[in-house]
Structure 1
Amino acid sequence: MFLTALVGLALYSSSLPLVYGLDDGSGVGRLPALAYNTWNAYQCNIDEDLIVTTAQLMVSLGLQDVGYNRVNLDDCWAMKNRTADGSLQPDTTRFSKGFNWLTDQLHSMGFQAGIYSDSGWLTCAGYPGSYQNEARDAETFQDWGFDYLKYDNCYIPFDDVLREGVYGKYQRMSGALVNLSKSTGQPPLLFSLCEWGWDQVWLWGASVGHSWRTTGDISPSWDSLASIINTNSFITQATNFYGRNDMDMLQLGNGNMTFDEAKSHFTAWALMKSPLIIGTNLSAITNETLEILTNKEILAINQDPVYGTSISPFRWGVNPDWVSNASYPAQYWSGQSQNGTVFMLLNTLDEPADMTFNLTESAWIRAGIQYNVRDLWTHTDNGTAIRSFTATAVPPHGVVALLLTEAGDEPAGLWPPCAGAADSQCSTPNGTHVE
């Protein structure tokens, strides 16, 4: 009877067009989101005062100054039932002033506002989902003044109701957002798919939304971080200006992570161009956590307007290359940025380790050139690297983040004349191989 009643609802969005992404030329979602989300710290214990207080803390703590410009509500904001005409409604006690008041408050403080819904019958916490109400709900969210939609994957309709795969289920809301944008002339809401990596979402996510979750929920532990990094090491090519792998929320200050593990967490998420969504109770944030979240040199790479791609592994280290290991993910990574070549060295061991690499192991380094080395955590210039670089005593589960910039030709007379991976093919002009 429950399903019959749901199916019998007005099919406000029963026929949606095929959609090929949400890029309308407005630049919405071109760079990873920098945001706050309520779920990790508060779960369902949210109200309008908490949201405004959180926004005020983001200003006073300097988070807004370094780019965190969104405040997102997660689950549990709604009444348990829709109105008589089928519309969603905010909880009349916890959000008594209404969402237009709340989004006006956030906008007046310089923030964008985010809201949460689900692609199934219900949200994960049991509130009304948006399935078969996509167009109605998209219009409601925009009328309330929201700019961002996190869209979850709970309470999936039976196959004989759905009659489409996971892609089609998310495409329904994507189509609603595109249609709404076309009809109103307003940019589409930033659309964040919380799909948990099912159905290889990284293959099709960019045709539907701006970001897509690639794994299950994060937990505040090294094991969880290592597993998520490992999964994403094989799909970095999916991230660019058209959309990105979402590695889930930042768990800094939650659980029992060490300071070095927290730095690794933030560095990997930022350099892999994941959205950076804070899930910490800001009223109890430590100076150490704030130091990590406000690292401007790391944030600049996440928000690079020239290169939208993720860093990628060039050597796995503990394991042979291309071997998946949830406990020991790839250790040596690099990528492009507008200011130089970025490197991330991740010590996945339980003890300190020296970490060495040849510069030309990275595809973005030119042979025969020496490089200036900038440490993005100590914020120091650390001399010049010629052919190789060694980071000494990297802490257990710790990270080194470097920016290398060209410093002219390497010194003459270095041997061997070829220092790359194909040394056996190093040759003089007449074809003589150099041993």
Structure 2
Amino acid sequence: MPFKPAGLVTLLSAAVYIGSAPAVHALQNGVGRLPALAYNTWNAYQCNINQDLIVTTAELIVSLGLQDAGYNRVNLDDCWAMKNRTTDGSLEPDTTRFSKGFNWLTNQLQSMGFQAGIYSDSGWYTCAGYPGSFEHEAQDAETFQNWGFDYLKFDNCYIPYDEIIREGVYGKYQRMSNALTNLSETTGQPPILFSLCEWGADQPWLWGASVGHSWRTTNDVTATWSSVASIINANSFITQATNFYGHNDMDMLEVGNGNMTYDEYKSHFTAWALMKSPLIIGTNLSAIANDSLEILKNQEILAINQDNVYGTSISPFRWGINPDWVSNASYPAQYWSGQSENGTVFMLLNTLDEPTDMFFNLTESPWIRAGIQYNVRDLWTHTDNGTAVRNFTATAVPPHGVLALLLTEAGDEPAGTMPLCAVWSQCADQNGTYVQG
């Protein structure tokens, strides 16, 4: 994410899909229906970008197998523009760093099978001080489309005075939303995927679906466990906002970009993917380690993120070391589950600094049926691990590590399984007598 000017709150962004439906309704025409799988330049390169770097990065995405894994978009972030608009008010790419122009660049990306994304800002300037799109929304939307971009990340720096803008944050973003909607209606071309950077204080998960597809929910991620844990914690309370037409965007993937452990990177990727966040790689791919690369390419985890039947996030069914519904940035919820087209997904997250065993009763998840035994698939070891009856125990989950499981029905429980109810609360006989554990 771009540098934030002093005095502004920490940046929060959102990926929002804008189409031809009325602005007050969530868009449901199938475009942008699933979370984006993409690469973004900011975290690895910030302002040090040019046309050769973008093409080289795209070539790496192909050669490293990431495109085959599903990452099909390359997004430019801040600092691509000249410092001033042209005499007719148009934006212009930096004539030195992008000397061949953006039509050349997007043609290169598209010839390799990628879609292309670009960056702008809802204020006077971008966060790095380049021209923003305020009062140029329609002009810039047309420019981006003419250049061949179909994704726009839209930031929130250098906000005009109240007496000028006369809008809340929703209205401020609606300006570009309307411009993109009108452009699609006028040209008949597919609508541009709109990625809002909003900073979260205005709770975009409450209103984002009325203007688009997804939205950032937290501060910028950094490649530290404390940052990852705090983002997981914040998102644990808003999972109900996620579906096919509204995704909580947890910011970029920092896998391999810092000094986290292998298990922490796995937890980072697993949480982002299973919570249906857009998966936007922010790592320098020329230096990525093989184990980090394999994390990003885990097809069984990616399949949950890209599920065509269930668009909802996993949610906590038990917080674990804290009482349920406790917000703790260092120790977020530990027991999660959700639906998928192939079974019930579980995420067990060890937030402690030492290995620990993690136990749960299957029916603590609302998606599990009582009286049924379940096949257990480990989505990281890619192994089938027998059947679970009534409960499951994961032993020695590593510090800040994760277990991702897929449970599928394997028939009725064995005859005579006791106790009569796995969870004793309100367990009753037909005559109304409560059964005690």
Alpha carbons 2:28, 2:245 under 8 Å: kept: no
Alpha carbons 2:257, 2:283 under 8 Å: kept: yes
Aligned mates of 1:110, 1:222 — CA distance in 2: 34
Give the match for residue 427 of structure 1: 428
Q: Which amino acid aligns with 1:247?
A: M
Q: How does 1:324-363 map to 2 (within 5 A)?
A: 324-363=327-366
The answer for unaligned runs of 5 or more in structure 1 is: 1-16
Give the match for residue 20 of structure 1: 24
Give the match for residue 120 of structure 1: 123
Alpha carbons 2:27, 2:211 under 8 Å: kept: no
Q: Which amino acid aligns with 1:329?
A: P
Aligned mates of 1:393, 1:411 — CA distance in 2: 28
Per the TM alignment, residue 24 of structure 1 is displaced from its structure 2 partner at its CA by 6.2
Q: Secondary structure at 2:359's aligned position in 1?
A: strand
Aligned mates of 2:422, 2:400 — CA distance in 1: 30
Aligned mates of 1:433, 1:276 — CA distance in 2: 48
Aligned mates of 1:385, 1:135 — CA distance in 2: 57
Q: Secondary structure at 2:118's aligned position in 1?
A: strand
Per the TM alignment, residue 412 of structure 1 is displaced from its structure 2 partner at its CA by 1.3
Alpha carbons 1:21, 1:174 under 8 Å: kept: no
- Alpha-carbon displacement from aligned partner over 1:242-274 (angstroms, at most 9, x marks no partner): 020000000111121000000000000000000
Question: Equivalent of 1:42, from 41, 45, 65?
Answer: 45
Q: How does 1:257-406 map to 2 (within 5 A)?
A: 257-406=260-409
Q: How does 1:52-201 map to 2 (within 5 A)?
A: 52-201=55-204
Give the match for residue 205 of structure 2: 202
Aligned mates of 1:302, 1:146 — CA distance in 2: 24
Runs (4 or more) in structure 1 with deviation over 3 Å come to none
Give the match for residue 9 of structure 2: none
Alpha carbons 1:70, 1:111 under 8 Å: kept: yes
Per the TM alignment, residue 32 of structure 1 is displaced from its structure 2 partner at its CA by 0.2
Aligned mates of 2:45, 2:293 — CA distance in 1: 19
Aligned mates of 2:426, 2:232 — CA distance in 1: 34
Per the TM alignment, residue 178 of structure 1 is displaced from its structure 2 partner at its CA by 0.7
Percent of aligned positions with the same letter in both sequences?
82
Q: Secondary structure at 2:66's aligned position in 1?
A: coil
The alignment covers a number of residue pairs equal to 416
Per the TM alignment, residue 21 of structure 1 is displaced from its structure 2 partner at its CA by 5.0
Per the TM alignment, residue 432 of structure 1 is displaced from its structure 2 partner at its CA by 2.2
Aligned mates of 2:157, 2:22 — CA distance in 1: 23
Alpha carbons 1:24, 1:187 under 8 Å: kept: no
Under a length normalisation based on structure 1, what TM-score does the superposition of the two structures give?
Answer: 0.94
Kindly indicate whether residue 34 of structure 2 is the aligned counterpart of residue 31 of structure 1: yes
Cα distance 1:173–1:293, how it changes in 2: closer, same or farther (>3 A)?
A: same
The answer for unaligned runs of 5 or more in structure 2 is: 1-20
Aligned mates of 1:415, 1:293 — CA distance in 2: 42
Alpha carbons 2:75, 2:118 under 8 Å: kept: yes
Aligned mates of 2:83, 2:228 — CA distance in 1: 34
Aligned mates of 1:107, 1:228 — CA distance in 2: 33
Aligned mates of 1:391, 1:18 — CA distance in 2: 48
Cα distance 1:269–1:24, how it changes in 2: closer, same or farther (>3 A)?
A: closer
Aligned mates of 1:290, 1:18 — CA distance in 2: 41
Higher RCO (CA 8 Å, separation ≥ 6 residues): 2
Aligned mates of 1:24, 1:300 — CA distance in 2: 21
Q: Secondary structure at 1:64's aligned position in 2?
A: helix
Q: Secondary structure at 2:67's aligned position in 1?
A: coil
Alpha carbons 1:73, 1:115 under 8 Å: kept: yes
